[in-house]
């Protein structure tokens, strides 16, 4: 690596970034785990602070063996958090009063968000003390909602600059503090271009350039694409949490339509979540038990080989009526990395990767008929499908290049606080 990397490594006091999250590691956030590990490999000191306790279910052995320092602020930290609050109140009563008015008594988008914000707001008082003790140079929240509230409070109390990343459901719909956090943030990172203009709306007019686009890293190693067979029964894969933004009801409806039309297709729907019962019930009502397999959650480290069994990935994401949505689901990049073609809906940043007719097919959201037609079109033209899969592999290799994106993120952290590195 260049002298930029050497700046991080040879400094007498290595540059230290606090990563603030609700949980860490988390099975559904492999991309964040990978980002942190790569930054550590680059020479940055990373200190992880979680607002909640452990949630290791489904985590790989590698994630469970994370070698870095993690400070957790679950329910066991209630009294330490309360103590930190009163210490701050005694030392800086005016500032605490301002924070309470601006950040605690604030309307949120729902009761869950309100509870999360209140807890994270209070945890920010303890976070401020911990970051000072640990010699943190920059407090970075990996999400724009609750964790960013904690980072914002900690920054105001400690004087340590803070930043956050805005991704998807953490900014759509916005929480009641997004404007305040955006105004005070040193910078705002986002991982897809579709979010840039949206996040700029919450920044002061003269600070819109603080929104920076840096894509995620690939979470799977680069592999040689395995040839797809594209022979009946065609094998379709869908992966994701069973939640409102994933559009799996529309996918099941599309599957029923394909079956009525006589197409031999089998779907494996991987995941779990709050909508699990609804999806199982829908599978039964549509008489799809014989062609839709729902194996539950599969750990990320087992998915790479799992992909090889399938011809096509379908990502039927939707925008919920309240604005909640996906960014660019990582399953898309992981599929394209293996040369698997993709059919997806045109939602948020998905079109940045699935370029219609070039790296896959895009269809309107909430349109099972269009989804079924695109699946049929893809499966019945294997030559073109293979071509699009290979084009997608080349695209994600460029956009989600791990060394380049990690270096860009490290440079952003460092230069924002200490000025542009030499080199």
pLDDT at 11: 52
Locus of tokens 């914002």: 152
Give every strand in the sheet of 188-190, ordered side by side: 69-72, 45-50, 16-21, 138-141, 162-166, 188-190, 211-213
Q: Is 361 helix (H, G, I), strand (E, B) or coil?
A: strand
Pick from 228, 196, 227: nearest CA to 212:
196
Angle at CA 124, nearest 5°, toward 120 and 127? 125
pLDDT per residue as tens digits for the range 156-177: 999 999 999 999 989 998 888 9
Q: How far is CA 86 from CA 104, 120, 183, 318, in A?
A: 15, 16, 27, 44
pLDDT at 422: 38
Locus of tokens 């707001």: 121
Q: How far is CA 364 from CA 318, 347, 412, in A?
A: 9, 8, 36
- Rounded to two decimals, the pTM is 0.91
Q: Which CATH architecture does the domain made up of 234-399 adopt? A: 3-Layer(aba) Sandwich (3.40)
Instruction: Tell me which residues of the chain have a pLDDT lower than 50.
Output: 1-4, 6, 9-10, 420-423
Residues contacting 296, CB < 8 A, separation 6+: 270, 271, 272
Q: Give the span between the Cα atoms of 344 and 231, in whole angstroms.
A: 21
Pick from 145, 202, 189, 137: nearest CA to 163:
189
Give every strand in the sheet of 234-239, ordered side by side: 292-296, 265-270, 234-239, 312-315, 342-345, 361-363
* Cβ-contact 347, 326 below 8 angstroms: yes
* Cβ-contact 138, 18 below 8 angstroms: yes
pLDDT at 41: 95
Output phi, psi for 246, to 5 deg: -85, -20
Residues contacting 199, CB < 8 A, separation 6+: 166, 171, 182, 188, 190, 211
Q: How many CB atoms lie within 10 A of CB 350?
A: 24
Q: Is 413 helix (H, G, I), strand (E, B) or coil?
A: helix
Q: Give the span between the Cα atoms of 105 and 39, in whole angstroms.
A: 36
Angle at CA 66, nearest 5°, toward 61 and 72? 115
Q: How many CB atoms lie within 10 A of CB 30?
A: 24
pLDDT at 220: 81
Strand partners, 266: 235
pLDDT at 360: 97
Strand partners, 46: 17
Please report the beta strands in 263-333, taking only residues with DSSP state E, as ranges in sequence order.
265-270, 292-296, 312-315
* Cβ-contact 382, 364 below 8 angstroms: no
Output phi, psi for 73, to 5 deg: -120, 55
Q: Give the span between the Cα atoms of 68 and 19, in whole angstroms.
A: 11
pLDDT per residue as tens digits for the range 260-296: 999 999 999 999 999 999 999 999 999 999 999 999 9
Q: Give the span between the Cα atoms of 152 and 98, in whole angstroms.
A: 13
pLDDT at 104: 87
Which pairs from 417-423 meet CB under 8 Å and 24+ separation? 417/15, 417/137, 417/138, 417/161, 417/186, 418/15, 418/137, 421/3, 421/4, 421/7, 422/3, 422/4, 422/7, 423/2, 423/3, 423/4, 423/6, 423/7
Pick from 260, 266, 253, 254: nearest CA to 293:
266
Domain limits, the chain: 3-217+401-418, 234-399
Homologous superfamily, domain 3-217+401-418: Glycogen Phosphorylase B; (3.40.50.2000)
């Amino acid at each position: 690596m260049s002298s930029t990397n050497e700046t991080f490594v040879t400094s007498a006091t290595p540059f230290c970034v606090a990563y603030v999250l609700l949980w860490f590691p988390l099975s559904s956030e492999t991309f964040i785990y990978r980002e942190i590990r790569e930054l550590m490999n680059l020479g940055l000191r990373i200190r992880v602070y979680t607002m909640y306790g452990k949630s290791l279910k489904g985590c790989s052995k590698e994630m469970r063996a994370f070698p870095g320092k993690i400070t957790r602020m679950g329910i066991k930290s209630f009294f330490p958090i309360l103590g930190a609050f009163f210490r701050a109140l005694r030392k800086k009563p005016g500032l605490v009063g301002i924070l309470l008015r601006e950040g605690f008594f604030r309307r949120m988008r729902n009761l869950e968000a309100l509870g999360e914000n209140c807890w994270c707001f209070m945890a920010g008082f303890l976070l401020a003390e911990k970051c000072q003790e640990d010699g943190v140079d920059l407090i970075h929240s990996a999400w724009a909602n609750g964790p960013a509230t904690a980072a914002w409070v900690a920054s105001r109390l400690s004087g340590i600059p803070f930043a956050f990343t805005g991704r998807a459901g953490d900014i759509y719909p916005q929480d009641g503090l997004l404007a305040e956090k955006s105004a005070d943030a040193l910078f705002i990172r986002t991982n897809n271009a579709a979010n840039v203009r949206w996040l700029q709306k919450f920044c002061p007019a003269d600070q819109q350039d603080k929104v920076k686009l840096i894509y995620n890293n690939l979470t799977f190693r680069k592999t040689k694409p395995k040839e797809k067979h594209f022979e009946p029964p065609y094998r379709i894969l869908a992966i994701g949490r069973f939640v409102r933004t994933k559009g799996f009801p529309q996918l099941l409806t599309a599957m029923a339509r394909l079956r009525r039309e006589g197409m031999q297709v089998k779907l494996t729907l991987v995941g779990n979540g709050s909508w699990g019962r609804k999806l199982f019930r829908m599978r039964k009502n549509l008489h799809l038990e014989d062609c839709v397999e729902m194996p539950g959650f599969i750990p990320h480290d087992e998915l790479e080989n799992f992909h090889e069994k399938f011809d096509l990935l379908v990502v039927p994401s939707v925008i919920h009526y309240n604005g909640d949505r996906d960014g660019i689901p990582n399953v898309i990049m992981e599929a394209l990395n293996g040369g698997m073609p993709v059919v997806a809906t045109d939602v948020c940043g998905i079109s940045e990767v699935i370029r219609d007719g070039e790296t896959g097919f895009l269809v309107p959201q909430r349109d099972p008929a269009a989804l079924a037609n695109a699946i049929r079109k893809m499966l019945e033209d294997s030559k073109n499908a293979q071509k699009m899969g290979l084009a997608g592999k080349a695209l994600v290799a460029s956009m989600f290049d791990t060394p380049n994106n990690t270096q860009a993120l490290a440079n952003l952290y460092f230069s924002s606080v200490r000025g542009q590195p030499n080199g």
